[in-house]
Amino acid sequence: MSVSLLLFSHPDVQAAEHLVRTLVEERIVACGHLFPAGVSIYSWEGKTMREPEVNVLLKLSRHACSEAMEKIRLAHPYHVPEILCWHVADGNREYLDWVLTRSLPSEREGESR
């Protein structure tokens, strides 16, 4: 089993914090970091948009990525939210082990968490 990082953006810092807290309490992710609010500039439906957003970085087991992405997608206000997951190649072994003990693989692939 290995560790992954998951990045998503959200327009509301309180809603993002609530979502991260839920994911941690359900042991889908080990932890999350909310970066200070920034501004996203992007093209949407033919217009250039400028919106305040907070970026969130989650640390979790590779096997929990699909479940975390689905929960974020379902709770997110955007029609097409930014949700990106990538796998960690190397890092502090003690930290990676801690992440794996806090982000349990989903037993939903077998049964319930």
pLDDT digits (tens, 9 = 90+) for 66-107: 999 999 999 999 999 999 999 999 999 999 999 999 998 655
Instruction: Provide the number of structural domains found in the chain.
Output: 1
20 falls within a domain: yes
The CATH number linked to 95 is: 3.30.70.120
Alpha carbon separation from 15 to 21, 25, 71, 72, 112 (Å, rounded): 10, 15, 13, 11, 26
66 falls within a domain: yes
Q: Find the domain containing 23 and state its range.
A: 3-104
Model pTM? 0.89
109 falls within a domain: no
What's the pLDDT at 112?
40
111 falls within a domain: no
What's the pLDDT at 88?
97
